Chain A
Amino acid sequence: MKFGVIVFPGSNCDHDAFFAVGNNLGQQAEFIWHDSTSLGDVDAVILPGGFSYGDYLRCGAIAKFSPVMQAVKKFATDGGLVLGVCNGFQILVEAGLLPGALVRNRGLKFICKELRLTAGTTNSPFTCAAAPGQELRLPIAHGEGCYVADERTLDELEAEDRVAFRYIDNANGSMRDIAGILNRERNVMGMMPHPERATEPLMGSTDGLVVFQSMLRSAVTA
């Protein structure tokens, strides 16, 4: 399987995502520069963490206009797997590929911390390798990761089984403990915790592998 890792000028978890899927998952990976208009022949796309274009405005507000995001949108529309982590989640939300918004953490501070969360559903290409309700330990590292949406959207997400991950330790104040969500077609997922930072024992946890193994399983069976 071949993963494409999008590189915005301010991406700083791009190498980590590359290492997680390339080294620890043992799959192919390549970087895709932000002004590319094509994603080439990748099977899945990862929008990594970081500060896309500095993010001095709302996080991801500029990134959504980048050339590569047009290609990502098309890729998603065609059914391709798109994973947004942290800043990647923020960008997917800004680009309208996922509903809701990510605002400043409840305590108004950046938080870097390992948290406990559960897989909210196993019915998705990003969580199918998880056991139902499986507890995971994944780190977060963000200042604006508090997920908010209107009541109707939240109800819809839950009714349609689109909450991919929920916090057990909700450190940022996200509504309904939401840590990650799926789009309606279930091929786009955004999550604030960093699965790529938990993909080998030396990192302190291997629980993040579940996300990438799920993607691998889905791509192979698709």
Chain B
Amino acid sequence: MNTTAFSPEIIAQHQLTPGEYQKIVDILGRDPSYTELGIFSVMWSEHCSYKSSRLHLKKLPTRGKLVVQGPGENAGIIDIGGGWVTAFKIESHNHPSFIEPFQGAATGVGGILRDIFTMGARPIAVMDALRFGRPDDAANGARNRRILAGVVAGIAHYGNCFGVPTVGGETVFEPCYDGNPLVNVFALGVCRKEDIFYAKAAGVGNPVIYVGARTGRDGIHGASMASAEFTEESKQKRPNVQVGDPFMEKLLLEACLEAMKTGAIVGIQDMGAAGLTCSTCEMGSRGEVGIEIELDRVPQRETGMTPYEIMLSESQERMLLVADKGREEEVFQVFRKWGLEAAEIGVVTGDGKLRVRHHGEIVAEIPNRELADEAPLYDRPHTQPPAAPATPRAARKPANVQDALPALLGAPDLCSKHWIWEQYDYQVRTNTLTVPERSDAAIVRVKETGASIAMSLDGNQRYCYLSPREGTKLIVAECCRNLSVVGAEPVAATNNLNFGNPERPEIMAQLVESIEGMAEACSFFETPITGGNVSLYNETLGEGVYPSPVMGIVGLMKTAAPVTIPFKTAGRAVVLLGGCGSCDETRFGGTEYAKEIDKQLWGLPPALDMEYERRVQRAMREIVAEGLAESAHDVSAGGLAVALAECCLGAAEMGAQVDLDSDLRPEFLCFHEGPSRIVIATANAKRVAEIAAKHEVAAPVIGSTIEKGLEIRQRGVTLGSWELALLRAANGEALEAYVR
């Protein structure tokens, strides 16, 4: 092996600190080879090693009675009853999606789908949390729109062809994402409990098999790229972005699931970030064994690739598996049926080392455990999150509820996103019980068990900027509320932590506070975190994104026609479960109203009383269980008036007349975003009131559904009155108008 002491420049180019390099030398007992340096650099990148966040991620609750597999595997797994489990996780592909929106987003979908089916589960749902710069921004609008269109088309291209329904998600626009969009993809799959597979190598002498696309020079150092800030030169990194082939992925899915059925597979892992490097050393480390591979046997689509390139390539649609010795042929037979190239590239050894040969010569020899699990761990200094102004910087405009509601309904964050979700096949596999935007949570049924899985994906970067801790708790509460609105019991969560540069103490403080808030809320709502993703260095030219944790929470329910948002029948009582809530100037600064009408951000996020929230959610689930909710929708971004308007935008011409008994200022009353509130239309207000009383939550009847228009009054005084056609026009085609 050719080893030498590397210059500080080469080490820095690999984004390793002098201290980290010394640790490598200590582990190896010598200087590394060039290939080894590359291997360490990707495995110890922020993206793969979580070196800045690991210390704090330990604070998260990960156990629960339904948790079958917590963090540390390719996806978390929970028991859904009837002998079945669900595997789910969220992953980000933020950096690649800025450089090449279509392929960046497409391969993001591909990566998370492999994480699911490598566990033995067939993916049955995808959701996306997307963040872009504003489409109507004077300076950057054109680029933001191009990124939006590219990301959506990329997700559609991959998911639609693969055959997994994209059942929902959320899209939010904020100037801080101008140079750093966020593309977080959540995927969920199901399988029988006994069919779960793990990414663990075992059995000395067992063959190591490579299957799928050939290895090329694409994506080398993708993981490292995702672990650095963007600069002007980043746009030159396009070759670091991989190209996706959803058809190949579909073949891999079917072939892997079929091969697993043979019983000849011991362990399996996809090759995602850090490619062959990551899959070999992680499988070895988990199984406490060694793996030896010969790179000459790795299928390659280019000639003259160096060991460094082969080990670091992030070519897509590749899997690595360990088979039972002597039963390889059963596995190969399945792959041949699906027209896939598979090759035996190595063997499991007993020495715990990752040994890489090229033309027979050893080019890397590293202990797996040290490489995979002993990456540097940093307790990075954290101070205080950047403070927002306590009060509005400039005088606020006089409130005008009549004009504000249509304006908000047409704002980028609140307008209908059907321009996006109609590009996704949200129905394939005929398990989707909901249409996006027609229910608070997406629901897919599991045909085999009679149970359904509800999912909610949510974030709010403005709340989190004002208070990372409180903002994150609000996100958890909202996800659980969304699930409760459709009658599902929240059971487990996954998270995607999108933050700026952790080497800046005030950014690190945001991360730490957010994680602590998440830990508190997830413990409280009994939704343990079973896996997730951390994406740091979301900064461009020194400008960090707002702290942007995204939660994906999963709930369980019986399969039934779901509770939907739109009002359906005239003369139903409209109940505001949870009541009108409270608000003041400080708590109003993070609302959509403040963003769109006042164009400012100040104060604190809405106040959350978790005990009260839990009671509201329990009451809601009971109301759904008794079949009392003809429609239901939680009050969230935009506040009560927006929630009521959204209930009026269904296919039927059905509005409402409400009169609110509250002494809040009109714009607070209509547009504050205080949590723990749900709008319900019911034919049995009496029973709803009884259930609410039992749970000690307010549930005033605020009005009734009517066939025409929406009118909101406060103690008899009309605050606003709208034709439904006007609200529909404001909301329906706004995004298309922005994009065009």
Which residues of A come within 8 Å of B, CB atoms? 9-10, 12-13, 15-16, 19-20, 49-51, 53-56, 109-114, 139, 141, 143, 194, 196-197, 201-204
Contact = CB atoms under 8 A, between A and B. Distances in A.
A193 to B, nearest CB: 12
6 contacts: A9-B338, A13-B163, A56-B247, A109-B422, A110-B424, A141-B425
Given A9-B338, A202-B433, A139 B427 contact: yes
Nearest to B445: A202
A44 B445 CA distance: 29
Interface stretch (B49-57, B154-162, B259-267, B511-519): B154-162
Given A19-B447, A112-B422, A10 B429 contact: no
Interface residues of B, number: 31
B230 interface: no
Contact of A19 (B338, B430, B561): B430
A20 B561 CA distance: 18
B247 to A, nearest CB: 3
B334 interface: no
B559 interface: yes
Given A111-B423, A112-B422, A143-B160, 17 more contacts: A9-B247, A9-B339, A12-B162, A12-B163, A13-B163, A15-B429, A20-B430, A51-B163, A51-B246, A51-B247, A54-B161, A54-B245, A54-B248, A112-B427, A141-B427, A197-B427, A203-B430
Interface in B425-441: 425-430, 433, 435
A141 B427 CA distance: 8
B422 A113 contact: yes
Nearest to B426: A112
Given A12-B428, A113-B422, A202 B559 contact: yes
B250 A12 contact: yes
Interface in B404-425: 421-425
| 3 nearest CB pairs, A to B | A12-B163, A54-B247, A141-B425
A51 B427 contact: no
Contacts of A54: 161, 245-248
B309 interface: no
A112 B445 contact: no
B430 A111 contact: no
B639 to A, nearest CB: 30
B31 interface: no
Interface of B: 153, 156, 160-163, 245-248, 250-251, 254, 338-339, 421-430, 433, 435, 445, 447, 559, 561
A143 B163 CA distance: 14
A111 B422 contact: yes
B250 A10 contact: yes
Contacts of B433: 202
Contacts of A113: 422
A16 B427 CA distance: 10
A13 B161 CA distance: 11
Contacts of A114: 435
Given A141-B160, A202-B433, A13 B428 contact: yes
A43 B163 CA distance: 27
A10 B427 contact: no
Contacts of A201: 561
Contacts of B338: 9
B423 A110 contact: yes
A197 B422 contact: no
A196 B247 CA distance: 22
A176 to B, nearest CB: 24
Contact of B430 (A10, A143, A196): A196
B425 A110 contact: yes
Contact of A112 (B248, B251, B425, B559): B425
A113 B651 CA distance: 14
A194 B421 CA distance: 18
Nearest to B438: A204
B650 to A, nearest CB: 13
B333 to A, nearest CB: 14
Contacts of A56: 247
Given A19-B447, A110-B423, A51 B161 contact: yes
Nearest to A33: B337
B728 to A, nearest CB: 17
Contacts of A110: 156, 160, 423-425
A131 to B, nearest CB: 23
A10 B158 CA distance: 12
Contacts of A196: 430
Nearest to B253: A12
Contact of A10 (B247, B423, B428, B561): B247
Contacts of B250: 9-10, 12, 51
B247 A53 contact: yes
A56 B430 CA distance: 25
A19 B445 CA distance: 14
Contacts of A202: 433, 445, 559, 561
Nearest to B157: A110
B430 A9 contact: no
Contacts of A112: 421-427
Contacts of A10: 161, 247, 250-251
A197 B425 contact: no
A35 to B, nearest CB: 9
Contact of A204 (B160, B246, B429, B435): B435
Contacts of A197: 427, 430
A201 B422 CA distance: 21
Contacts of B430: 16, 19-20, 196-197, 203
A141 B428 contact: yes
A82 to B, nearest CB: 22
Contacts of A143: 160
B8 to A, nearest CB: 46
A20 B427 CA distance: 14
A97 to B, nearest CB: 24
B422 A16 contact: no
A48 to B, nearest CB: 10
A109 to B, nearest CB: 5
A112 B168 CA distance: 13
Which residue among A13, A19, A139, A202 has the maximum number of chain B CB atoms within 10 Å of its CB?
A: A202
A71 B338 CA distance: 20
A26 B662 CA distance: 56
Nearest to B340: A9
A10 B163 CA distance: 9
A93 B339 CA distance: 25
Contacts of B156: 109-110
A114 to B, nearest CB: 8
A201 B245 CA distance: 35
Contacts of B447: 19
A204 B433 CA distance: 8
